[in-house]
Amino acid sequence: MKTISVHWAFVLAVVMVFSLSGMVFAEPVPEIELITTTEAYDPIRYESAFIIAEGWEQLGFQVNVRPMEFSTILERFYDEQDFDATILGWSGRVERLDPQHFLGTLHGGQIDLGANNPGGYVNPEYDRLFEAQTREFEVERRREMVLEMQAIAAQDAPLDVLYYRDEVNAYNHERFGNFVIMAGEALYNEWTPLQVEPITEKTVLTIGTPQEPDTINPLASTSVWGWKFMRLYYDKLVRLSPDIEPVPWAAEELIPVNDVTLDVVVRSGMLFHDGEPVTVEDVKFTFDYYIENDFAYFRPFFAPIESVEVLNGNTVRFHLKEPYAPLITVTLSQLPILPKHIWEAIDNPADLAPDQIPTVGSGPFMFDRYDRGEYKRIVTFEDHFSAGDIKIDAVEYRVYADSEGVFTGLITGEIDMTAWRLEPGQIDLAEREEHITVVSVPDFGYYHLTYNLRRKPFDDVAVRQALSHLIDKETMITVLLQGRGEPGTSVIAPINAFWHNPDVVRYPYDPERAREILEEAGYRWDDEGRILFPAG
């Protein structure tokens, strides 16, 4: 009995030591890898990462800032979902003034590989509202749901909207005039090449950019740099005007039949760039092809479609699974019309090598040349129905190593306009040049820090809220952006006032509040100040 008593006394003592210490079972929160762009590609995002890391390290998080090439980031973020936290941006393309896209980046149906919600956020109530607002044609009722969704997402903090950065471009007004300036896109929009007018004998518009397409495969590109190039040599049924109104394009007429049926009369006389006619069969094939191949990135565009039917002559009928309010402004303005006679022989479009990718469209410009990392060129398609209004012969794109190269090309006259934002330090310099005009518009896109909710500690909303309180956005705006932007709050930007919710919960820079949140959730710190998971 004596031996047994000593044994249990020892066990009890051990238990008491573990219990009294309170930290014996607590594990350190692992180091966070924070992925960002290289300094040459985007110095603002690069420096933002270090500001974020400095804030997080105040409360004992260990952070490794990892700059990467942009294409590598996209692959890690979308295709592999192999990240802890990543800084990226959603561009404010014109079709995204409808809230559908940005809200969809947090929809639980888009968490699979390649889709638009790589962070893996799932909230059943958010998803219910997302699906309900999609079906709602009464705009005020839809707006109520959109505002509520923003409130839910802000409370859950699956990402932090860092800032809305002003879109600042510039052009050489001694060579070209009549540039189109659009909300969110500034000069680099799809209407500028269609309307710009030469002032000299130069009839080729030269655009400078530090970024090339991720791919020119229209079934695989997930980058704005791919689509802003391809959308000029592919046609869509609808284009959105500079006033953000849907303009029938390859469609001659749009005829609503009921809430789940839309007839589209395809414009007659159109040709693909290889001389073959554009037919209703090509339109049906395009949507069927996207649906059958089920590329996750494009799924929000085609998911509402039940089937596409050729009626007669030049008419196709879209049958929807349920009412879908953004069909015309989102789906029909996004998917490019593919030539059936080329793509129907391709069984695995995602596996095409660069030299295998077809580049035949029916758009106002024709693909001419692409030297990866250096140069792209499209030429005016004289047989297009809009060709009579186009005043230039071609658009060429010069690809530079960084934004400084683009700026130098603008000043020296090597390029006529920029496709990339001028950096804050370049803007005043550009405005002093007599041959340069600088334009600035607010952006309805945003830069975001997305957490991978599949990994600890980001699966804990308390950690995400605390981390947001440790991000010094005011320094990003005042120092990095020199006031040309505003702190982020929601995935719908303030400039998109009708859909923006100004009353979502906010996370001002407040290290004391961040510590309180973590302590309330059971997190503690070791003797060296490193943060530990709750003991359990």
pLDDT tens column, 236-265 = 999 988 887 899 999 999 999 999 999 999
Tokens of 253: 């007429």
Whole-number Å distance between alpha carbons of 114 and 76? 10
Domain finish residue from 406, 440, 474? 440
Q: How far is CA 379 from CA 43, 143, 205, 314, 392, in A?
A: 33, 42, 10, 28, 9
- Give 458-461's long-range contacts (Cβ < 8 A, gap of 24+): 458/84, 458/85, 460/521, 461/156, 461/157
Whole-number Å distance between alpha carbons of 218 and 207? 22
- Strands 246-248 vs 238-240: parallel, antiparallel or unpaired: antiparallel
Residue 37 has pLDDT above 90, yes or no: yes
Strand partners, 441: 167
pLDDT in tens, 134-154: 999 999 999 999 999 999 999
- Mean pLDDT for 54-74 is 96
pLDDT of residue 128: 98
- 9 domain-assigned: no
- 10 domain-assigned: no
User: pTM value?
Assistant: 0.82
pLDDT of residue 211: 86
Domain finish residue from 440, 468, 499? 440
Q: What are phi and psi of 317, to 5 degrees?
A: -115, 130
Give me the sheet containing 251-258, strands edge to edge: 251-258, 261-266, 315-320, 305-312
**Exposed, middle or buried: residue 138 (CB in 10 Å: 0-12, 13-18, 19+)?**
exposed
- Mean pLDDT for 58-66 is 97
> Residue 295: pLDDT band by 50, 70, 90 thresholds?
confident
Same domain, 243 and 224: yes
Whole-number Å distance between alpha carbons of 65 and 49? 7
Q: What are phi and psi of 223, to 5 degrees?
A: -115, 145
Q: How far is CA 204 from CA 135, 379, 390, 417, 497, in A?
A: 44, 9, 12, 12, 37
- Strands 261-266 vs 315-320: parallel, antiparallel or unpaired: antiparallel
Same domain, 344 and 426: yes
Helix axes 424-431, 403-412, angle to 10 degrees: 0
Whole-number Å distance between alpha carbons of 35 and 77? 9
pLDDT of residue 296: 83
Helix (H) or strand (E) holding 56: helix 43-57
- Higher per-residue confidence, 297 vs 422: 422
**Exposed, middle or buried: residue 258 (CB in 10 Å: 0-12, 13-18, 19+)?**
exposed
Residue 456 has pLDDT above 70, yes or no: yes
- Mean pLDDT for 369-389 is 96
Same domain, 290 and 374: yes
- 135 domain-assigned: yes
With b meaning 16 or more CB within 10 Å and e meaning fewer, what string describes 113-131? ebbbbbbbbbbeebbebbe
CATH number at residue 77: 3.10.105
Residue 17 has pLDDT above 90, yes or no: no
- 20 domain-assigned: no
Average pLDDT, the chain: 92
Q: HSE-up of 279 (CA within 13 Å, CB side)?
A: 12
pLDDT in tens, 340-361: 999 999 999 989 999 999 999 9
pLDDT in tens, 204-237: 999 999 988 989 999 998 888 899 999 999 999 9
Per the structure, the count of domains in the chain is 2
Same domain, 356 and 482: no
pLDDT of residue 431: 96
Same domain, 262 and 403: yes
Same domain, 384 and 256: yes
Same domain, 273 and 366: yes
Helix (H, G, I), strand (E, B) or coil at 45: helix
Same domain, 122 and 202: no
- Strands 417-418 vs 32-37: parallel, antiparallel or unpaired: unpaired
pLDDT of residue 25: 58
Same domain, 294 and 189: yes
Q: Cα 424 vs. chain centroid, distance in angstroms?
A: 22
CB 349 within 8 A of CB 291: no
Q: How far is CA 360 from CA 71, 235, 294, 340, 365, in A?
A: 25, 11, 22, 11, 10
Q: How far is CA 207 from CA 20, 153, 234, 397, 400, in A?
A: 67, 38, 19, 5, 11
pLDDT of residue 159: 98
- 24 domain-assigned: no
**Nearest 5°: CA angle at 303, between 297 and 308?**
120
pLDDT of residue 11: 39
Cis (ω within 30 of 0) for the bond into 508? no
- Mean pLDDT for 264-287 is 97
- Strands 63-68 vs 32-37: parallel, antiparallel or unpaired: parallel
pLDDT in tens, 383-411: 999 999 999 999 999 999 999 999 999 99
User: Could you list the residue range(s) of the whole structural domain that residue 74 is in?
Assistant: 32-165+444-532
pLDDT of residue 8: 42
Residue 484 amino acid letter: R
Q: What are phi and psi of 53, to 5 degrees?
A: -60, -40
Same domain, 249 and 356: yes
DSSP classification of residue 28: B
Same domain, 522 and 481: yes
* Least confident among 2-6, 59-63, 105-109, 117-121: 2-6
3-state SS of 217-277 is CCCCCCCHHHHHHHCCCCCCCEEECCCCCEEECCEEEEEEEECCEEEEEECCCCECCCCCE
CB 386 within 8 A of CB 233: no
pLDDT in tens, 141-188: 999 999 999 999 999 999 999 999 999 999 999 999 999 998 888 999
Same domain, 523 and 406: no
Domain finish residue from 389, 405, 440? 440
- 16 domain-assigned: no
Query: Which of 442, 455, 500, 485 has its CA nearest to residue 154?
Result: 500
Helix axes 511-520, 461-468, angle to 10 degrees: 170
> Residue 13: pLDDT band by 50, 70, 90 thresholds?
very low
